[in-house]
Amino acid sequence: MLQQGKSPLLFEIFYECKTTKARAGRMALVHHHVNTPVFMPVGTQGTLKGLLPQQLEQLDCQIILGNTYHLGTRPGINILEKAGGLHKFMNWKRALLTDSGGFQMVSLLELAKITEEGVKFKSPYNESDCMLTPEHSIQIQNIIGADIMMQLDDVVKTTTTGPRVEEAMHRTIRWLDRCLKAHQRLNEQSIFPIVQGGLDSKLRSECANQLIKREVNGYAVGGLSGGESKNDFWKMVHLTTNILPKNKPRYLMGVGFATDLIICSALGIDMFDCVFPTRTARFGCALVRTGQLNLRQIQYRKDMRPIDESCECSTCKIHTRAYLHHIVTVETVACHLLSVHNIAFQMKLMKDIRQSIQEQRFPEFIQQYMLDLFPNKEYPSWIVDALETVNVTLL
Amino acid sequence: MKFTTNSIKSCAARIGLLTEFERIPNSTFETPLVLVYTKGGCVPHLTKDVFKMLTSSPQMLSVSLSSTYLMQETMKDCNINFANFVGMKEYINFLTIHDPASTTPSGFREPGIIPLWTRCGKYAITVDKYMDIIETFKPDMYVALCDGDTNIDSSRKRISKSVESSMTFFEQCFIKHSSSEALKSSEILGAIEGGYDKDARTVSINYLKTKPLIGYVIDGLHNNGSHVKDIPSKQIKDIIEHTINLLPTEKLKVSMGCWNPLTVLELIELGVDIFDTTYPYVITENLEALTFLCDRDNCNNMGHIISFTEGRYADDFSPICSHCECLTCKNHTKAYLHHLCNVKELLGKVLLMIHNVHQYLEFFKIIRENIKRDTLDDYKKKINLKFKQNNVIQAEEEFTCTKDTKLTSL
Ligand SMILES: [Zn+2]
Ligand SMILES: [Zn+2]
Ligand SMILES: [Zn+2]
């Protein structure tokens, strides 16, 4: 494939961990640079849970996600095209990433059916037959205009086994080629292929090996964090990052719990996304190093401490757990305050990871983090095993 | 705390100055003033950092006990006042009993108590209980316990009962207030009751005007809630005029509730000094944006309000008002607002609240300028026109509709 002009994604690795597979670097995208490893908050419908773009910038978010299926439904592609893309529509000046719409469609619409041509579904509005093809997905994502787009992939449930997994893997590769061909804005947007193959090492390897033959700017690891065992999960990540080229960013889709972020960074992942930090905020939960505080609980009624003494976010600077307890699930402001804190928490964790990689003390960082989390050293075996493979032994 | 005004005539628009707040000595506020409505200790939809983006000037907050009552036990046990507990210590606060934005249920009266409606149900508030709460909250200003459960339809009997019990409540509150060490920095205001009955108002005023107070809350005209915006000015004009004529000119006059901007102007012309932003809040909850303020010739908004439930804004990529300096209008389009409202995303109300409160703060700034220049009457006419235009547009639309139906049926 011939690319003219400047690449819409330049990835530079500044530091490599000498012990693990972790790396700290920077992606230069058309709208903004992104320091990696990065956590990307999810703004499904062109907004991130009540936060202003200015607040997201203050939180140091460099890239956020939009969901193609939702955006294509409302406001719809015509409006987004007239607006000149999602950046302008929502007035977000930094980087954006969109998914293909396929996953949302399969998980949200009962009647979605996958054929070789694409995902067949009934319109939720007028019951008419519709088809999301790889070409159509890219056409929509070209209009949305995110810095990074996802290929349409053949999604199967993570726990599916048998020939369907293999079929999906091969189809994903065929669909990637159709996506790449349909891509119209080569100088502004990058397509990431998605490594599929379920929990089968052979299929995953084959898929990854096929995908790396295509000329792309980065790769995604898909089909994980869907209810599989943690043991299967980390092994698939480890195996995939071993095959993917070192000089391209790797994005692990749908993963965002603190422990997973640390371990998968150690396994060589550069990008993460998850709805969890903002979704849990809506239910009154605040993230802390040891898990989360459910501020609805009566125990916080007279707790005059901030959520986290060491947190620098505006919520922790101003408000106590006691006050938050009184307004959670009553005032929308409580949801905004917890979203601010939870995003700040994720951003701080990623910053700590990057910094410790840069200072060649990532293994020590992991050891301390896990010890804080499991003070009696009853580490789950998958954590021990995963870390052993990248030469980190817990304290 | 001190209130000064240059006004010598009662029942006239005037400029006043609130100064010498004990808690924040260098705060001053010019009247007519609009208090920023809060619920549960926050400006609805706006975190404090966003509220600071909306306005960097000092503001006075209106706080209702009904939305904060459930916090009082924690505040008391932790020995922390309201301003500190909700993290708003740099703002002066004014505590009222009921939430002006939601209708206070009528009835449920018992001697010696006021029913307080919270999200967890009804609480019976006695004077002792009330003053105990006030000592915990330590508000900068508050209204004495009162029975304001009257409106245009209230019977004579109900009205005289409300006046009577409010006088008793005040008497007891005032004794406690005067001897309270904790309330040395708080100002108590008396509530003038009497519904729409001039004789009853006179009784209430005659009792309160002898008390050493900084000012009065003109209460008992409505039972709060969004319908207050539909009360026509002419319904209240007479009784307010009567009330203010009898009250000492130099004292502060407060009227809370969701008055529409035209009524606010009428009330200001009658000498009312303090209002609150319930109206822009209610407008926001309706997914509407205020447009009455802009008087530029090239303004594309004809009426006083636009509603984002209307499909016509779906592809309108202009701001609510291109002359508005608020964060929303500077950064976002009507199309985006329409989308957010359409998919019920929280940011929709955040952005609308920013615009609507900004507009209302500007409205009061303009009012004060016009009073100083003695041009309030002209300004009032201009604003009236904006409100009329909405009705004209509606009438025209109805007309075209009927015409269209006729054409198709032909
Ligand atoms: Zn925080
Ligand atoms: Zn205008
Ligand atoms: Zn505005």
The average pLDDT across B175-197 equals 98
Say how far apart CA B34 and CA B226 lie, in whole Å. Answer: 17
Q: Do A332 and B349 touch (CB under 8 A)?
A: yes
- Is A60 considered catalytic here? no
Say how far apart CA B167 and CA B173 lie, in whole Å. Answer: 10
Residue count (chain B)? 410
Give yes or no for a contact between B5 and B74, defined as CB atoms under 8 angstroms apart: no
Determine phi and psi for B395, rounding to 5 degrees: -60, -45
Give yes or no for a contact between A11 and A218, defined as CB atoms under 8 angstroms apart: yes
| Confidence category of residue A125, pLDDT binned at 50, 70, 90 | confident
Mean pLDDT in chain B? Answer: 94
The alpha-carbon gap from A35 to the nearest alpha carbon of chain B, in Å, equals 26
The alpha-carbon gap from A330 to the nearest alpha carbon of chain B, in Å, equals 8
The average pLDDT across A138-167 equals 94
| Confidence category of residue B391, pLDDT binned at 50, 70, 90 | low
* Residue-level pLDDT at B406: 33
Asked if pLDDT for residue A339 goes beyond 60, the answer is: yes
**Consecutive H or E run containing A90:** helix A86-90
A196 annotated binding-site participant: yes
Of B46, B78, B345, the CB nearest to A322: B78
Q: Which residue of B has its CA nearest to A79?
A: B315
What are A188's two structure tokens? 């502004």
B299 annotated binding-site participant: no
The average pLDDT across A252-278 equals 97
A100 annotated binding-site participant: yes
The average pLDDT across B163-185 equals 98
Contacts of B350 in chain A (CB under 8 A): 50, 52, 332, 336
Say how far apart CA A46 and CA A69 lie, in whole Å. Answer: 12
Contacts of B77 in chain A (CB under 8 A): 302
Classify residue B385 as exposed, middle or buried by CB count within 10 Å of its CB (0-12, 13-18, 19+). middle
B146 annotated binding-site participant: no
More confident residue, B300 or A220: A220
Asked if pLDDT for residue B273 goes beyond 60, the answer is: yes
| Confidence category of residue B396, pLDDT binned at 50, 70, 90 | very low
The average pLDDT across A263-268 equals 98
Asked if pLDDT for residue A274 goes beyond 70, the answer is: yes
- Is A273 considered catalytic here? yes
Asked if pLDDT for residue B397 goes beyond 80, the answer is: no
Q: What pLDDT digit, counting tens, does each position of A80-103 carry?
A: 999 999 999 999 999 999 999 988
Give yes or no for a contact between A73 and A109, defined as CB atoms under 8 angstroms apart: no
Of B42, B44, B346, the CB nearest to A49: B346
The average pLDDT across B215-238 equals 97
| Confidence category of residue B84, pLDDT binned at 50, 70, 90 | very high
Asked if pLDDT for residue B401 goes beyond 50, the answer is: no
Give yes or no for a contact between B47 and B353, defined as CB atoms under 8 angstroms apart: no
Asked if pLDDT for residue A234 goes beyond 50, the answer is: yes
Q: Do A52 and B119 touch (CB under 8 A)?
A: no
Output the CA angle B59-B61-B66, nearest 5 degrees: 175
CA nearest neighbour of A165 among A198, A132, A191 = A198
The average pLDDT across B47-60 equals 97
Interface test with A, best of B42, B43, B47, B331 (most A CBs within 10 A): B47
The alpha-carbon gap from B339 to the nearest alpha carbon of chain A, in Å, equals 6
Q: Does B86 touch chain A (CB under 8 A)?
A: yes
Asked if pLDDT for residue B409 goes beyond 80, the answer is: no
Q: What pLDDT digit, counting tens, does each position of A50-62 carry?
A: 999 999 999 999 9
Q: Does A355 touch chain B (CB under 8 A)?
A: no
Say how far apart CA B333 and CA B336 lie, in whole Å. Answer: 5
Interface test with A, best of B346, B352, B353, B358 (most A CBs within 10 A): B346
> Any idea of the CA torsion for B358, B363, B364, B369, to the nearest 10 degrees?
130
Q: Does B342 touch chain A (CB under 8 A)?
A: yes
Q: Do the bridges between strand B2-5 and strand B16-19 make them parallel or antiparallel, or are there none, so unpaired? A: antiparallel
| Confidence category of residue B390, pLDDT binned at 50, 70, 90 | low
> Any idea of the CA torsion for A54, A58, A59, A64, to the nearest 10 degrees?
40
Q: Does B344 touch chain A (CB under 8 A)?
A: no
* Residue-level pLDDT at A104: 83
Asked if pLDDT for residue B81 goes beyond 90, the answer is: yes
Residue count (chain A)? 395
Asked if pLDDT for residue B407 goes beyond 70, the answer is: no
Choose, from A147, A260, A270, A273, the residue flagged as catalytic.
A273
Give yes or no for a contact between A106 and A118, defined as CB atoms under 8 angstroms apart: no
The average pLDDT across A11-30 equals 98
Determine phi and psi for A234, rounding to 5 degrees: -70, -30
Give yes or no for a contact between B107 and B47, defined as CB atoms under 8 angstroms apart: no
Q: Do the bridges between strand A148-150 and strand A95-98 make them parallel or antiparallel, or are there none, so unpaired? A: parallel
Residues A147, A151, A156, A158: is their CA dihedral positive or negative? Answer: negative
Of B50, B336, B343, the CB nearest to A89: B336
Any idea which residue has 């339809």 for tokens? Answer: B153
User: How is A229-264 classified by DSSP, letter by letter?
Assistant: -HHHHHHHHHHHHHHS-TTS-EEETT---HHHHHHH
The alpha-carbon gap from B74 to the nearest alpha carbon of chain A, in Å, equals 6
Q: Do A49 and B314 touch (CB under 8 A)?
A: no
More confident residue, A290 or A106: A290
Between the alpha carbon of residue B147 and those of residues A305, B39, B164, the distances in Å are 38, 21, 9
Percentage of chain B beyond pLDDT 70 is 95
Choose, from A60, A99, A352, A385, the residue flagged as catalytic.
A99
Q: Does B41 touch chain A (CB under 8 A)?
A: yes
Of B44, B85, B336, the CB nearest to A323: B85
| Range in B8-12, B30-34, B129-133 with the lowest mean pLDDT | B8-12
Any idea which residue has 């922790």 for tokens? Answer: A316
CA–centroid distance, B363 to ligand 3, in Å, is 12
Mean pLDDT in chain A? Answer: 95
Give yes or no for a contact between A218 and A13, defined as CB atoms under 8 angstroms apart: no
